[in-house]
Chain A
């Protein structure tokens, strides 16, 4: 059983608010990822981290920011939410090198009104 948790599962928030999506894992994995997924669309990598104090932008430009102060946590922050940020956000982790599957959280479905 994968131990990766995302909170909240669902969030409806007004335009201009600051929000932080939480992602926590108890597997001690170095690699963590944030994906954005619009309904019926592909996964887009928006941020990733290969360890503490390491963060990189992904393929899809995003106005969000991330931090990795601890191995277990990889929060994603939107300073000023907009309706265009409405989407599902999926967090994932992977272990070391070699054949390692990615474990996904259940996702946060964000709606900005």
Chain B
């Protein structure tokens, strides 16, 4: 079945860049998402990338996709304390098929 893997923790200093990595197994993935979950809250979509793209930039966020290696990364430039949260990678084959989420990477930003 589909599987999405992420490392559990990442700690960075305020102002540095953060890179959160994700690997997935479903080669039919059409969309790949990054969700952010702040303490006590639901998940909020941060950004997404189509599988036919290599890179997408959105302000401080850069998503890189290596489709050959099925590797997705999220780079947050100039990381702020407000970026401390859990970041979920998710892959979506599209249509009515379900979205598969990773376990989430907890980002800790040290002031």
Contact = CB atoms under 8 A, between A and B. Distances in A.
A104 B44 contact: yes
Interface residues of A, number: 26
Tell me what chain B mostly uses at the interface: helix, strand, loop, or mixed.
Answer: loop
Contacts, number: 53
A105 B43 CA distance: 8
A7 interface: no
Contact of A42 (B45, B94, B96, B102): B102
A6 B41 CA distance: 11
A66 interface: no
A90 B43 contact: yes
A110 interface: no
Nearest to A33: B98
A21 interface: no
A41 interface: yes
A20 B88 CA distance: 27
